Structure 1
Amino acid sequence: MDLFDLMSQGREDKALDRLEGMLALYESESEAEQDEALERARAFCDLEWGSYPAGLEVLARRCATRKGDGAEAAMQALRLHEEGAKPGSIIRAVRLSRLREMSRVDERAAVIERYGSIEAVLRPTDFETVFISAASSGGSVAEIEAAVAAAQPMPAGIEAARMEALRWEARLRHMELVAEPETQPPVLPPACAARHRLVEEAWRRGLPVASIADFSARLEYWSGRGREDCSGYAVLAADFETLAQGLSIRGTAPSTKDRARALKEANPEWSLARIGKELGISRQAVHKHLKGAAVSPAK
């Protein structure tokens, strides 16, 4: 490398150092300062390398070749590539992270206010105590599951199973919000964790579909939590077939009009009011259904 190359390399290194300084301001507490830094960096890259993406590409290459940084250097290079393709992406990510942290702080305060104290959040609730007491004798996993299933009636439908599963997950979320960062993440008591497993399994595939609401609840499970082995497709296909058969059976049932006419034919002496009472409809509705029938409606 000759003197000219060394001088050129030194100049580019200084330019990259300056660009890195501008990018460091992307994490400023002031959004105005962030926006100003982005404008300055884009103008500087246009001047030095012809475009913002080109400047970030050079900086990304330097980050990727730094020794000792390893995975962190590689991740930084990827972030710079993305920033070059989508200017402002680093700033947007920083702002989103701060919004989430602010939301977490607010959520934590609301949880503490709801329970009364951090200690109360971490103590078993009355609902949890029911299952803890039921499984207090210990035993195998199967015995604990049997005990917690008997302690409170298991959900009768998929939607109810979903609601209880989400209730347990919300409870765990509350404990996580107030736990100290340096401590082990909180977990549900073993009996409560067993109950959670049971209701989640009922939500996942354990209960039969009885309504469109049930199918919707199960679809929510598999769309958001399903494994990558595509096993959810088989569950949902079977549920859909069950639901379709049920709808088909209901669809072939006699209409109210047919039932009204059948009752009149079988009981010609019945009044419109009597037929209406039998069908759960008004006298006027019965009269409308019997119009044009072979039998004359009684008054």
Structure 2
Amino acid sequence: MDLFDLMSQGREDKALDRLEGMLALYESENEAEQDEALERARAFCDLEWGSYPAGLEALARRGAARKGDGAEAAMQALHLQEEGAKPGSIVRAVRLRRLRELTRIDERAAVILRYGGEDAVLRPTEFETLFIEAAARCQTAPDVEAAVAVAHPMPASVEAARAETLRWEGRLRHMELVGASDSPPPVLPPACAVRRRLVEAGWRQGLPAATVADFSARLEYWAGRRGEDGSGYAILAADFAALARNGLASRAQGPSTKDRARALKTANPEWSLARIGKELGISRQAVHKHLKGSAK
């Protein structure tokens, strides 16, 4: 490398240092500073390399030369390539991450308020205690399954199985929110984990889809929760065939809205009228009417 090449390399390194400094401001807490840094970086790249993507490509090459071909360099190159193709993508990602963090903070505060304290969130609820006590003297796995199945009525429909599964997942989410950021994922008490597994099996396949609402609930499971290995198609096809034989039964031919509202309240006593109404597609006033006079 001759003197001219060394001088050129030194000049580009200085330019890349300046560009790197501008990109660092994409992480600024101030959105105005982020926007200004983006404008400056784009103008600077146009001046030095002819375009914003070309400047980011040069920065990625230097990163690869310094860090080698490892995963870190590859990820940096990928992010810079995306930023070049869609200017502002890094800033948007930073803002989205912070919004999610704020949402998590708000959600955590709401959970703590609902339970009455962080410790209360981590203690077994009354619902969980039913299964813990029922399985306390069981010696074998089949005994535990039998005990948790009779400790509280098992869901009688796919819809109800979905609702209880989501309730268990909600508990895990609540415990996760109050746990330390570096702590392992929360787990349910063993008896509750067994109950959840049994209920989810009913949602997945075990219970017959007797109504269109049941079929919709099962479709939701297979569409959003399972890696498609073909088994879901067979289960859904069998459900649809059964519905067709029965004339595609509507919800009205299954449990009434009143029965479904009361079942949801029994399975989820902490749910508000609005939450139950959202699940059933009716107003909170209608939910109140359906629950009026039901057992407390």
Structure 1: which 5+ runs fail to align? 251-299
Residue of structure 2 in register with 1:110 after alignment: 110
Residue of structure 2 in register with 1:87 after alignment: 87
1:193 aligns with 2:193: yes
SS at match of 1:188: coil
Judge conservation of contact 2:209–2:239 (CA < 8 Å) in 1.
Answer: yes
Residue of structure 1 in register with 2:124 after alignment: 124
Q: CA deviation at 1:146?
A: 1.4
> For the residues of structure 2 that align with 1:135 and 1:142, how far apart are their CA atoms?
11
> For the residues of structure 2 that align with 1:81 and 1:14, how far apart are their CA atoms?
21
1:48 aligns with 2:26: no
Residue of structure 2 in register with 1:296 after alignment: none
Q: CA deviation at 1:53?
A: 0.7
Q: CA deviation at 1:16?
A: 0.7
Judge conservation of contact 2:218–2:236 (CA < 8 Å) in 1.
Answer: yes
Residue of structure 1 in register with 2:293 after alignment: none
> For the residues of structure 2 that align with 1:56 and 1:50, how far apart are their CA atoms?
11
Structure 2: which 5+ runs fail to align? 251-296
Aligned counterparts, 1:192-271, within 5 A = 192-247=192-247
Judge conservation of contact 1:63–1:74 (CA < 8 Å) in 2.
Answer: no
> For the residues of structure 1 that align with 2:155 and 2:47, how far apart are their CA atoms?
67
Amino acid in structure 2 at the alignment position of 1:133: E
Q: TM-score, normalised by structure 2?
A: 0.81
Amino acid in structure 1 at the alignment position of 2:227: R
Give the total of aligned pairs.
250
Q: CA deviation at 1:248?
A: 6.6
Amino acid in structure 1 at the alignment position of 2:42: R
Residue of structure 2 in register with 1:66 after alignment: 66
Judge conservation of contact 2:27–2:94 (CA < 8 Å) in 1.
Answer: yes
Residue of structure 1 in register with 2:287 after alignment: none
SS at match of 2:247: helix
CA distance 1:177–1:249, change in 2 (3 Å): closer
Please say which structure displays the higher CA radius of gyration: 1
Runs of 4+ displaced beyond 4 Å:
none
Deviations 1:142-183 (A, max 9, x none): 221111011111100000000000000001100110012233
1:21 aligns with 2:26: no
SS at match of 1:186: coil
Residue of structure 1 in register with 2:294 after alignment: none
CA distance 1:164–1:248, change in 2 (3 Å): closer
Amino acid in structure 1 at the alignment position of 2:109: A
> For the residues of structure 1 that align with 2:178 and 2:202, how far apart are their CA atoms?
30
Q: Percent identity?
A: 76
